[in-house]
Amino acid sequence: MNKRLLRSFLAVLMGLMITVSVLGAMSARAALSYVVDETGSLTQEQIKELDARLAEQSASNQCDIVFVMVNSLNGVPVETAADTYYDNNVGYGAANSGIVLYISLGDGEYAFSTGGYAYSVFSDYECNEIASQVVPYLQSSDYYTAVKTFGDGADYYLQHAGQDQTGAAVEKKHNPIWAPIAALVGAIAGWIGTGGQKAALKSVHQQQGAQNYVRQGSFQVTDAREQYLYSQVTRTRRQTEQPNRPTNSRPSGGGGGGVHGGTSGKF
């Protein structure tokens, strides 16, 4: 009886914990603003409309698409500001996927910060393509269209991930290095597989030492000493390992510890 009660109690407790964590996650998602304008360049109606648009695109791609616009960087490099914003606010799902376009109007600088799944989708090429379409609107102070263009560009690349720039599916080429690797491993397996059978034919070996003829109990160590001579200390500089992504020129550790990609520029 007691065991049944305990099981019921544990089941209820686990159910509560799951509910609380799901609700917590949902409320965290609900709190995310997809369009952040600290400059007052967009009207409340525009922000509301654009936020809903980016929220929908984010949900359909399971990857946050966030636009942030501030007056000044206050001396912080624009890439750092973008990564920090990402780490503190952005990230969809367990992989924390997302892309942030961080703009400082006062400094005339922008930076993309990508993470999770978006890190592998948005290489320098994709970021620069989006930037080339967004920057003209920033230069003409048409921020409403800039946000829309950014959202549509990010949505396009997320929808077409795995395809080339013309929209065709990227053909996965088989690496020719596999042929010699397979041949080499096959040859080694052949030698190992037949090695045992070949060795079984040889049974004549020279004896190493005369261990079979040591008189039992005769081994005595009468002198066992250790004498310290000297010490040498060497040092090497510590290195922090970072994942390398050849097509992404800015892999960086963010303030919150995440790894981000993306490009930056001026307008």
Partner 1 sequence: MAGLLQYKCPCCGGAIEWNSTLQKMKCPYCDTEFDLATLQAYDQELATDSPDSMEWQQEPGSEWTEGEASGLRVYVCKSCGGEIVGDANTAATSCPYCGNPVMMMGNFSGHLKPDYIIPFQLDKEAAKKALKAHLADKKLLPAVFKDENHIDEIKGLYVPFWVFDADADARMRYKATRVRSWHDAQWNYTETSYFQVIRGGNLSFDHVPVDGASKLEDTLMESIEPFDFSRAVPFQTAYLAGYLADKYDVDKDVTVNRANERIKQSTQRSFDQTVQGYASVMNDYSSIQLRNGVAKYVLYPVWLLNTTWEGNKYTFAMNGQTGKFVGDLPMDKKLYWKKWGMIAGITAAAIYGISWLIQLL
Binding site for partner 1 (CB under 8 A): 172, 174-175, 178-179, 181-183, 185-187, 189-191, 193-194, 197-198, 200-215, 218-238
> Considering the complex, what minimum distance in angstroms separates the CB of residue 117 from partner 1?
17
CA angle 254, 256, 262 (to 5 degrees): 25
Burial class (CB in 10 A: 0-12, 13-18, 19+), 28: exposed
Residue 119 and residue 97: Cα distance in Å, rounded? 8
Q: Which is nearer to partner 1, 1 or 213 (CB)?
A: 213
99 in Cβ contact with 63 (< 8 Å): yes
Q: Which is nearer to partner 1, 75 or 213 (CB)?
A: 213
Q: Which is nearer to partner 1, 94 or 210 (CB)?
A: 210
DSSP 175: P
Name the token pair of 184: 């080499």
Q: Which is nearer to partner 1, 30 or 201 (CB)?
A: 201
> Considering the complex, what minimum distance in angstroms separates the CB of residue 164 from partner 1?
17
> Considering the complex, what minimum distance in angstroms separates the CB of residue 5 from partner 1?
48
Name the token pair of 248: 């992404």
Q: Which is nearer to partner 1, 27 or 230 (CB)?
A: 230
Q: Which is nearer to partner 1, 1 or 192 (CB)?
A: 192
CA 27 to chain centre: 24
> Considering the complex, what minimum distance in angstroms separates the CB of residue 44 from partner 1?
47
Residue 196 and residue 216: Cα distance in Å, rounded? 35
Tokens 């109990």 belong to: 217
CA angle 96, 161, 99 (to 5 degrees): 35
Helix (H) or strand (E) holding 19: helix 2-31
> Considering the complex, what minimum distance in angstroms separates the CB of residue 183 from partner 1?
5
> Considering the complex, what minimum distance in angstroms separates the CB of residue 253 from partner 1?
16
